[in-house]
């Protein structure tokens, strides 16, 4: 994949480029693995590596330094920057503090791979044309984190980050609420003026948790089964909410459905 570097602090030029090349190596490996699951015919034109200021103030006002715009992935690849971002979200959860203080480049690569996965062919619309009010937004965001984690991380690290995020969901649910995932982004900048990183991440955590539970508990651990089910909904004309389609398809009780799409806890 082609890349460019955009920085406001020229002292970081070499560090950002070298970190970016590490991320690109992960992305190449990820793309090969992803091809076993789905094709990506319309790949991003390239990736731009930034420092935080360039990503969030020069190119965009989005508070997170990772996004796709005009077929380009934008990302800060600096490990220390992501450590600082994630450490603002721990809310006293020791396990989260431990994980984020020991963040690895695979955690940064996962974010880039998340952006890449949005271009996967099984999604129902072009990423740039995506309706942020669509009822399946939670599904796309959740599976775009699930796949990079499964394909890039060790099983131990996958389980650890998922447990950390389960604890963070519980730590923030009183502050941000337990609204349906149909309202993805309500707690953060997508749904209002809250620019805290925790508010932005809250529904990503919940969506990834829900997608993982659907795969593990109702698809025998096979992500392809969930994707095929999603395609049934798409090919059937996207009638009704996606979560209602899943509830009917997997014969879920009302209690289980509430647990999945409201608070997404480990047990119901």
The proportion of the chain whose per-residue pLDDT surpasses 70, expressed as a percent, equals 92
pLDDT at 267: 36
Mean pLDDT over residues 65-84, rounded? 95
Q: Residue 59: pLDDT band by 50, 70, 90 thresholds? A: very high
Task: Please say if the pLDDT value at position 194 is more than 90.
Answer: no
13-27, 28-42, 236-250, 253-267, range with greatest mean pLDDT? 13-27
- pLDDT of 123-170, one tens digit each? 966 544 555 556 789 999 999 999 999 999 999 999 999 999 999 999
Can you tell me the mean pLDDT for 86-94?
97
Residue 93 token pair: 């959860």
Q: Among the listed ranges 3-7, 177-181, 188-192, 249-253, which one has the minimum average pLDDT value?
A: 188-192
pLDDT at 8 over 50: yes
What's the confidence (pLDDT) of residue 182?
87
Q: Look at residue 132 in the predicted model and tell me its pLDDT.
A: 55
Q: In the prediction, which pLDDT does 239 show?
A: 86
> Is the dihedral angle over the CA atoms 102, 147, 68, 141 positive or is it negative?
negative
Q: Is the pLDDT of residue 266 over 50?
A: no
Determine the pLDDT at residue 191.
Answer: 61
Residue that wins the pLDDT comparison between 222 and 126 = 222
pLDDT of residue 227: 96
CA dist 251 and 207 (Å) reads 20
pLDDT score for 244: 93
Give the pLDDT confidence score for residue 237 in this predicted structure.
Answer: 86
Report the pLDDT value the prediction gives residue 126, as an integer from 0 to 100.
55
- pTM of the predicted structure, to 2 decimals: 0.92
Q: What per-residue confidence (pLDDT) applies to 148?
A: 98
Q: Mean pLDDT in the chain? A: 91
Tell me the average pLDDT across 81-88.
98
Confidence of residue 265 (pLDDT cuts 50, 70, 90): very low
What is the domain partition of the chain in residue ranges?
A: 3-263
Tell me the sheet residues that pair with 160. Answer: none
Per-residue model confidence (pLDDT) at position 131: 55
For residue 250, what are its two tokens? Answer: 């997997």
Question: At the top level of CATH, which class does the domain 3-263 belong to?
Answer: mainly alpha
């Amino acid at each position: 994949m082609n890349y460019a570097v955009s920085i406001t602090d020229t002292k970081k030029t070499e560090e950002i480029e070298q970190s970016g090349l590490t991320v690109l190596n992960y992305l190449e490996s990820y793309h090969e693995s992803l091809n076993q699951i789905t094709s990506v015919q319309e790949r991003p034109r390239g990736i731009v590596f930034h420092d935080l200021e360039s990503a969030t103030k020069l190119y965009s006002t989005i508070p997170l330094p990772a996004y796709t715009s005009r077929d380009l992935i934008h990302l800060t690849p600096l490990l220390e920057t992501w450590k600082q971002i994630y450490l603002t979200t721990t809310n006293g959860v020791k396990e989260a503090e431990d994980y984020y203080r020991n963040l690895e480049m695979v955690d940064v690569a996962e974010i880039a791979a998340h952006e890449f996965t949005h271009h996967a062919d099984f999604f129902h619309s072009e990423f740039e044309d995506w309706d942020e009010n669509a009822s399946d937004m939670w599904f796309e965001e959740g599976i775009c984190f699930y796949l990079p984690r499964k394909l890039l991380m060790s099983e131990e690290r996958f389980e650890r980050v998922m447990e950390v995020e389960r604890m963070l969901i519980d730590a923030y649910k009183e502050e941000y609420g337990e609204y349906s995932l149909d309202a993805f982004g309500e707690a953060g900048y997508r749904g209002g003026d809250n620019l805290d990183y925790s508010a932005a991440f809250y529904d990503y955590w919940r969506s990834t948790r829900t997608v993982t539970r659907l795969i593990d508990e109702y698809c025998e651990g096979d992500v392809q089964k969930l994707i095929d089910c999603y395609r049934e909904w798409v090919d059937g004309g996207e009638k009704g909410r996606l979560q209602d389609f899943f509830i009917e398809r997997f014969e879920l009780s009302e209690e289980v459905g509430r647990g999945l799409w409201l608070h997404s806890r480990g047990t119901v």
